[in-house]
């Protein structure tokens, strides 16, 4: 293949940047936090509807759509972390009310610990990279 038509390999720095910098909305938290936020939201509320959980997680900066919340809740229910029951609604169709199982409560506590570790790691990294030889960069 002539050099001009040969596909170019991405540079190492471009590969590293693509790995470190996921293609997620710049204005929100990574979507991988959704399961933890759903578990913690249910733990705090006791019981909640899917739309209420959606409002909670998006108000905290997580950029997800409503369908992702319901998929996450369905997956958690299949894993016996969440239970649900249909509740009649006076103003429309019946609604599904979610609550944590004992396994879900344990996972919520583990998620809180994991999020705290992520926070601590980010704070340490920011502190490290914001100073040069003890002086602010």
pLDDT of 80-128, one tens digit each? Answer: 999 999 999 999 999 999 999 999 999 999 999 999 999 999 999 888 8
Give residue 30's pLDDT.
84
Domain map (residue ranges) of the chain:
24-136
Lookup: tokens for 94:
């019946």
What is the spatial distance between Cα 120 and Cα 124, in angstroms, rounded to a whole number?
6
Pick the CATH number of 24-136 from 1.10.10.10, 3.90.650.10, 3.50.50.60, 3.30.390.10: 1.10.10.10
Burial-class residue 52 by CB neighbours within 10 Å (0-12, 13-18, 19+).
middle
Report pTM.
0.74
């Amino acid at each position: 293949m002539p050099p001009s038509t040969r596909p170019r390999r991405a540079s190492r720095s471009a590969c590293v940047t693509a790995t470190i910098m996921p293609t997620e909305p710049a204005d929100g938290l990574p979507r991988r936090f959704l399961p933890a936020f759903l578990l913690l939201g249910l733990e705090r509320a006791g019981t909640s509807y899917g739309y209420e959980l959606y409002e909670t997680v998006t108000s905290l900066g997580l950029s997800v759509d409503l369908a992702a919340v319901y998929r996450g809740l369905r997956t958690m229910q299949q894993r016996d972390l969440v239970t649900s029951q249909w509740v009649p609604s006076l103003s429309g169709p019946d609604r599904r009310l979610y609550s944590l199982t004992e396994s879900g409560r344990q996972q919520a506590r583990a998620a809180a610990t994991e999020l705290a570790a992520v926070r601590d790691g980010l704070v340490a990294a920011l502190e490290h990279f914001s100073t040069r030889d003890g002086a602010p960069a």
